[in-house]
Amino acid sequence: MKILIYGLNYIPELTGIGKYTGEFAEWLAKRGHNVRVVTAPPYYPKWKIGKDYSTFRYRKEVLNGVDVFRCPLWIPGKLTGLSRIVHLLSFGLSSLFVIIYSVSWRPHVVVNIVPAFFTTLAALLGSALCNAKVWLHIQDYEIDAAFNLGILRVSRLRKVAKCIESIILKKFDCISTISPKMLRKLSQKGIDTEETFLFPNWVDTKQIYPLSGYNFLRDEFGLKKDDFIALYSGNMGEKQGLEIIVDVARKLESKKHIKFLICGDGPVRSRLIVLTSGLTNVKFIPLQPKGNLNSLLSLADIHLLPQRFEVTDLVMPSKLTGIFASGKPVVAIAYPETEVALVVKENGIIVRPGDIAGLENIIIWLAEHPMERERIGKAGRIYAVDRLDKDSILTQFEKKLYALVKKENTWKDDIMVQYTRLHDVAQ
């Protein structure tokens, strides 16, 4: 098949959506499919354009058998509701030209990854012009999250956005998302369940696995052999609610052997550094290269997974797959009935949002009970192997993709006829 993947984030971004889209595209290419990606230059999670890439120039490159088209993207100096919209819109507009250019390539299917929702119109237009199927994959309900977190505040705007979203969603041939509750939310938005598909994030359990013995990162980060490490690794944004780690670290400062390691980057990193000023039990480290990921995940005695309660059913933290595969326990901040809690409860520990004392007590208890840490970690590893295996998940997706391409098109046929006529006249 010819598969056009269209989304804001892509490798060499090491975390989040870009990582998964890159692995997904390369897996399809290795399976013999002709894969083209339309994306932006790498910028996440630092919110800075990666080295050797340009903010304002188009660029084509080939990465591991995949043709990658990079489109201009504006990066705001300060993140606000308005600047985020302009940021996303800049990619939606710049990538539109490449999507139209790709019509002549005649893909069988266009797979649109959101965020950013601004790309959906271009995806629908491009698929219609070449009579291709169009698949929407939702990693994050960004519109709902933006209003729930207060990034966007105008109530009238929310009603308009919801209406537009509903109209657009119904135009896609298939819509997938990454968790059962996020899938059910599509039904609440009026999408027929026959047109939806559960496509969870995955982990390569052969690359991420439990390590024992010496870990070179402990020396590299100046950690003692008997230090108990509570690790947060990933994006540092508003959705994560990382302030609770600061509050707990302050309360546990007298426990000299308990260290909080915060790895990654993002818009709130500088604020967290200010908040932890003077704390001797908190260390910030940069995002680690891909080759260090397994060592980093295994460095932790426990993993911390904070999440703002306003978004716990709108997103599913991508880092959770690697945590489970590493065989180390996770402590998640979530209400019991949320999707995050449902996934974690059998393979980790749940603490309610805002319960600083509860999180403090759980960390102390886990530090004192290594056998329980081992038991919980093993449960997570088993879950990863049984439910999150990369090849198994992507094979199911490929089967669904084949079935979708075989279906007849409907509303796009008329548009294709008109486009063909215009093309013939131009010739």
Residue extents of the structural domains in the chain: 2-202+389-426, 216-387
Contact 64, 96 (CB under 8 A): no
pLDDT tens digits for 310-329?
Answer: 555 555 678 899 999 999 99
pLDDT of residue 152: 61
Tell me the per-residue pLDDT of 381-395, one tens digit each, with 9 for 90 and over.
999 999 999 999 999
Q: Is the pLDDT of residue 123 over 60?
A: yes
State how far the Cα of 241 lies from the Cα of 339, in Å rounded to an integer: 17
Burial profile 1-35: b = 16 or more Cβ within 10 angstroms, e = fewer: bbbbbbbbbbbebbbbbbbbbbbbbbbbbeeebbb
% of the chain exceeding 90 in pLDDT: 65
Residue 273: the pLDDT is 93
Average pLDDT, the chain: 88
Write the DSSP assignment of 252-274 as a string of letters: TTT-TTEEEEEEEE-TTHHHHHH
Please tell me the predicted confidence (pLDDT) of residue 423: 46
Using DSSP's 3-state secondary structure scheme, residue 39 falls into: strand
| Cis? peptide before 115, omega within 30° of 0 | yes
- Span 328-345, mean pLDDT? 88
Superfamily the domain 216-387 falls into? Glycogen Phosphorylase B; (3.40.50.2000)
Predicted structure pTM score: 0.86
How confident is the model over 135-144, as pLDDT tens digits? 999 998 877 7
Radius of gyration of the chain (CA): 22
Rounded mean pLDDT, 197-221:
93
How far is residue 12 CA from its own chain's centroid?
14
CA distances from 394 to 26, 84, 228, 380 (A): 11, 31, 36, 21
CB 300 within 8 A of CB 327: no
Q: Is the pLDDT of residue 418 over 60?
A: no
Average pLDDT over residues 325-349: 89
Please state the CATH superfamily assignment of the domain spanning residues 2-202+389-426 in this structure.
Answer: Glycogen Phosphorylase B; (3.40.50.2000)
Residue 357 in tokens? 């004392």
What pLDDT is recorded for position 411? 43
DSSP result, 99-157 = HHHGGGG--SEEEEEES-GGGHHHHHHHHHHTT-EEEEEESB-HHHHHHHTTSS--HHH
Q: What residues pair up with 135 in beta bridges, in sequence order?
A: 111, 174
pLDDT, tens digit (0-9, with 9 covering 90-100), for 87-105: 999 999 999 999 999 999 9
